[in-house]
A and B are shown apart, each in its own frame.
Chain A
Amino acid sequence: MTEINKNTPASELTIGGNIYTAGNAREFKTGDWRSTKPVFISEKCKQCGLCFPVCPDDAIPVNCEQKREDFNYDYCKGCGVCAKVCPFGAIEMKEEN
Chain B
Amino acid sequence: MGIRERLSGNEAAAIAMKQINPDVVAAFPITPSTEIPQYFSTFVSNGQVDTEFVAVESEHSAMTACIGAEAAGARAMTATSANGLSFMWEQIYIASSLRLPIVLSLVNRAVSGPLNIHNDHSDAMGVRDAGWIMLFSENNQEAYDNLLMAHRIAEHKDVLLPLMVCQDGFITSHSIENIELLEDDKAKAFVGTYKPEHYLLNKEEPIAIGPLDLQAHLFEHKYQQATAMRNAKKVIAEVSKEFEELTGRKYSFFEEYKLEDAEIAIVCMNSTAGTTKYVVDQLRNKGIKAGLLKIRMFRPFPTEEIAKALSHLKAVAVLDKADSLNGAGGALFEDVTSAMFVNKVQVPTVNYVYGIGGRDTTSNDIESVYNDLADIANKGGTNDFYRYLGVRK
Contact = CB atoms under 8 A, between A and B. Distances in A.
B321 interface: no
Contacts of B210: 16-18
Interface stretch (B3-11, B166-174, B201-209, B308-316): B201-209
A10 B160 CA distance: 16
Nearest to B219: A10
Contacts of A17: 210-211, 213, 217, 221
Interface in A1-49: 4-6, 8-10, 13, 15-22, 28
B156 to A, nearest CB: 13
A16 B209 contact: yes
B217 A4 contact: yes
B223 interface: yes
A5 B216 CA distance: 8
Interface residues of B, dominant DSSP: loop
A18 B207 contact: yes
Interface string B155-182: 0000010000000000000000000000
A15 B71 CA distance: 13
A15 B160 contact: yes
Most buried by A among B210, B212, B221: B221
Interface residues of A, number: 16
B160 A18 contact: no
A13 B224 contact: yes
B289 interface: no
B206 A15 contact: no
A18 B209 contact: yes
Interface residues of A, dominant DSSP: loop
B71 to A, nearest CB: 9
Contact of A10 (B99, B198, B227): B227
B220 interface: yes
B98 interface: yes
B110 to A, nearest CB: 33
A4 B99 CA distance: 19
Contact of A9 (B207, B213, B220): B220
Contacts of B160: 15
Nearest to A24: B208
A20 B224 contact: no
Contact of A15 (B205, B211, B221): B221
Contacts of A13: 217, 220-221, 224
B216 A16 contact: no
B68 to A, nearest CB: 14
A28 B213 CA distance: 11
Interface of A: 4-6, 8-10, 13, 15-22, 28
Given A19-B211, A21-B206, A21-B207, 10 more contacts: A6-B216, A10-B221, A15-B224, A15-B228, A16-B97, A16-B99, A17-B210, A18-B98, A20-B205, A22-B207
What are the 6 A-B residue pairs with the smallest beta carbon separation, nearest first?
A22-B206, A10-B220, A6-B216, A19-B208, A15-B99, A16-B98
